[in-house]
Structure 1
Amino acid sequence: MSHVLTLVAPAGCLAATTLARLRAALADLGADAGTPDWLAPEEAADIPFAGLSPEQATAAARATLEDAPVDAIALPAEGRRKRLLLADMDSTIVTSETLDELAAFAGLKDRIAAITRRSMNGELDFREALAERVGLLAGLDAAALEETWKSTEITPGAQALVATMRAHGAHCAIVSGGFTFFTGRVAERLGFHAHYSNTLGVADGKLTGMVEEPILDRDAKLATLKRLSAEHGLPLSDALTVGDGANDLAMLQAAGLGIAFRAKPVVAAAARARVDHADLRALLFAQGYRAEEIAAA
């Protein structure tokens, strides 16, 4: 079969009857739909198919699933396993927006989080929103950075994602509109090869309210994807990108597999693939990895 539809759900939530319904839905549209293949029992499975585009298969799957907690990703069967992973950090590899959490130490979390939400949904210019939020934190004791890091949680499945792709030869990097203080620690903890982000200005133990140039924004994320692909001799089709905000959209659309992970509405609507229910191991299942191939967290 030329294509595959991968279904992923929280553990124990994917039923054989659901796979049968989806296979029938593809057949009703004229597809040649093969026998489902379990990647992880009651969690992830492939349905091979031919005769439909990935977009048609994904739309049919979402219509059939309705509100069921199942993610559907359709891809060409050839070249599923990617050799470059480029991941956003905030609300993707970690569960929080680290700048919002940092703002809590200045009593400004709600105010800054409101700006973050609008920026990540594409309602505000990223650079302007970043400068405004960081500016509000001028004078904050730099010790708040370490306190914020202590409470930062890794997203379930992130460690398995990085370890598994590294074990199979992929280059793994973080690219974030957040800050090096956090991306460096996340990269070290999870085993990313590299990290790219912004640098907060600090002087005399206080935040200056400035971000050092150059600013890593939407265009810089796309440029990083292209640069890393070229450096590793890979076509963009061999890249997997993942993120949740409007500043991720360009790199999601340019990669062979770009996944909007629990994304803001504008991003979820525009991305070719998205994960709304499962954890980050869904990115491995989408590449055809079986449960026994996934590195233990």
Structure 2
Amino acid sequence: MIKLCVFDFDSTLMDGETIDILADAYNMGDEVKKITHEAMNGKLDFFESLNKRVSLLKGMPYEKALEVGRSLPLMQGSFELVEFLKSKNILSVVFSGGFYEGINPAMEKLGISLGFANFLHYKDSKLTGLVGGEMMFLNSKGLMLQKLKKLLNLKNDEVMCVGDGANDVAMFEESGLKIAFCAKELLKSKANVCIDTKDLKEVIKVLK
């Protein structure tokens, strides 16, 4: 019986990568996307790649970053899946290697009350190119899930995770039901369910 569902955010609950969308809005898209692609395929250290990408946003007005965060497109089927989980008394939580500036507006829309991510540091209303938070490292999602399981007194088989990239491997290792959603090959190899249709309603079929 599943009691907790942990979602990755970028390219899972949200249709795209927050850092890439921010970079596009600041005319740094091509450079950042190249680093994102390598990081999500496990070819770059996540911590280093995150810092490198955020550094390219230095000088961006913070209000512009918030504006981008408020307008991120949610994945098809996200509302339906979250509602289904609520109907089954399954707690939904978001773990994002991205930013609170992106996950907070999305969680409000979806009715999810708990999430963990990183903060874009800003000073004098502009991004400094620095970042900090709970999801900075490749193993951050796994460590956070360990804490949540202990807090909620849950076993692995009471937990499901839905993700797409290399930094989701750590949380998969702490979970019973591991769903790779339109995922990179590295994560697919760690999953027990792979969904290649870009619609989160497909997850509902797995749970029924």
Give the one of 108, 129, 133 matched to 1:209: 129
1:160 aligns with 2:74: no
* TM-superposed deviation, 1:213: 4.7
Q: Which amino acid aligns with 1:142?
A: Y
* TM-superposed deviation, 1:150: 4.6
1:226 aligns with 2:184: no
Q: Which residue of 1 aligns with 2:91?
A: 171
State whether residues 90 and 97 of structure 1, in contact with CA within 8 Å, keep that contact through their aligned partners in structure 2: yes
Distance verdict in 2 for CA 1:213–1:224, change over 3 Å: closer
SS in 1 for 2:59: coil
Cα distance in 2, alignment partners of residues 216 and 87 from structure 1:
16
TM-score normalized by the length of structure 1: 0.67
Give the one of 172, 193, 202 matched to 1:273: 193
Q: Which residue of 2 aligns with 1:115?
A: 35
Give the one of 76, 81, 103 matched to 2:23: 103
Q: Which amino acid aligns with 1:286?
A: V
1:256 aligns with 2:180: no
TM-score normalized by the length of structure 2: 0.94
* TM-superposed deviation, 1:216: 3.2
* TM-superposed deviation, 1:254: 2.7
SS in 2 for 1:228: helix
Q: Summarize deviations over 1:200-255 as a string: whole Å, max 9, x none.
A: 10111100100125543331201221222222221111111011110001212331
Q: Summarize deviations over 1:85-128 as a string: whole Å, max 9, x none.
A: 10000000000101101011221101101100100000000000
Q: Which amino acid aligns with 1:223?
A: L
SS in 1 for 2:173: helix
Cα distance in 1, alignment partners of residues 155 and 40 from structure 2:
28
Q: Which residue of 1 aligns with 2:60?
A: 140
SS in 2 for 1:182: helix
SS in 2 for 1:199: strand
Cα distance in 2, alignment partners of residues 287 and 125 from structure 1:
33
Q: Summarize deviations over 1:120-177 as a string: whole Å, max 9, x none.
A: 0000000000000011111111122133235411111111111111222111110000
SS in 1 for 2:43: coil
Q: Which residue of 1 aligns with 2:105?
A: 185
Cα distance in 1, alignment partners of residues 43 and 127 from structure 2:
27
Q: Which runs of 5+ in 1 are unaligned?
A: 1-78, 289-297
SS in 1 for 2:139: helix
Cα distance in 2, alignment partners of residues 168 and 211 from structure 1:
36
Fraction of identical pairs, as percent = 34
State whether residues 84 and 172 of structure 1, in contact with CA within 8 Å, keep that contact through their aligned partners in structure 2: yes
Q: Which residue of 1 aligns with 2:69?
A: 149
Higher relative CO (Cα under 8 Å, sequence separation at least 6) belongs to 2
Give the one of 126, 140, 162 matched to 1:242: 162
Q: Which amino acid aligns with 1:226?
A: Q
* TM-superposed deviation, 1:276: 0.5
CA RMSD in angstroms comes to 1.5
